[in-house]
Chains A and B, each alone.
Chain A
Amino acid sequence: MRPARRGRVGRQLPPSVRVGVDIVRVDSVREAAEAYGERYLGRLFTPLELAEVGTPGGSPSFERLAARLAAKEAAIKALEPSSDEAHLADLRAVEVRSTRSGSVAIVLHGGAVMLAAARGIAGWGVSLTHEGEYAAAVVFGVEAGHGTRAGSRRHRPRASMVHELPLLPGRDGRAAVARPAMGPSEPVSEIDGDGIRRR
Chain B
Amino acid sequence: MEERIRRIVEENARLQVDVASLAADADLYQAGLTSHASVSLMLALEDEFGVEFPQEMLRKKTFESIASIRAALESLGASVS
* Given known A24-B36, A69-B36, A73-B35, contact A90–B55 (CB-CB < 8 A): yes
* Given known A28-B36, A43-B55, contact A86–B43 (CB-CB < 8 A): no
* Given known A43-B55, A92-B55, contact A86–B39 (CB-CB < 8 A): no
B40 within 8 Å of A by Cβ?
A: yes
A12 within 8 Å of B by Cβ?
A: no
A4 within 8 Å of B by Cβ?
A: no
A167 within 8 Å of B by Cβ?
A: no
* Given known A69-B36, A73-B35, contact A91–B61 (CB-CB < 8 A): no
CB pair A36 B58 closer than 8 Å: no
- The digit string for A25-53, where 1 denotes a CB below 8 A from any CB of B, is 00011011001100110011000000000
- Interchain CB contact (< 8 A) of A40 among B14, B39, B56: B39
CB pair B61 A90 closer than 8 Å: no
- Interchain CB contact (< 8 A) of B39 among A43, A83, A87: A43
Q: Give the number of chain B interface residues (Cβ < 8 Å).
A: 15
CB pair A40 B59 closer than 8 Å: no
| Residues of chain A with a CB closer than 8 A to B61's CB | 83, 86
Within residues 20 to 59 of chain B, which ones have a CB less than 8 A from any CB in chain A?
35-37, 39-40, 42-43, 46, 55-56, 58-59
B7 within 8 Å of A by Cβ?
A: no
* Given known A39-B43, A40-B43, contact A86–B59 (CB-CB < 8 A): yes
CB pair B40 A35 closer than 8 Å: yes
B60 within 8 Å of A by Cβ?
A: yes
Which chain B residue lies CB-closest to A91?
B58
| Residues of chain B with a CB closer than 8 A to A35's CB | 40, 43
B55 to chain A, nearest CB (A): 6
CB pair A32 B39 closer than 8 Å: yes
| Residues of chain A with a CB closer than 8 A to B42's CB | 43
Interchain CA distance A73-B39 in the complex, whole Å? 13
B50 to chain A, nearest CB (A): 14
A-B contacts besides A43-B58, A90-B55, 19 pairs, CB < 8 Å: A28-B14, A28-B40, A32-B36, A32-B40, A32-B43, A35-B40, A36-B40, A39-B43, A40-B40, A43-B39, A43-B42, A69-B36, A73-B36, A83-B61, A86-B59, A86-B60, A87-B59, A89-B59, A90-B58
Q: Which residues of A line the B interface, CB within 8 A?
A: 24, 28-29, 31-32, 35-36, 39-40, 43-44, 69, 73, 83, 86-87, 89-92
Q: Which residues of B line the A interface, CB within 8 A?
A: 14, 35-37, 39-40, 42-43, 46, 55-56, 58-61
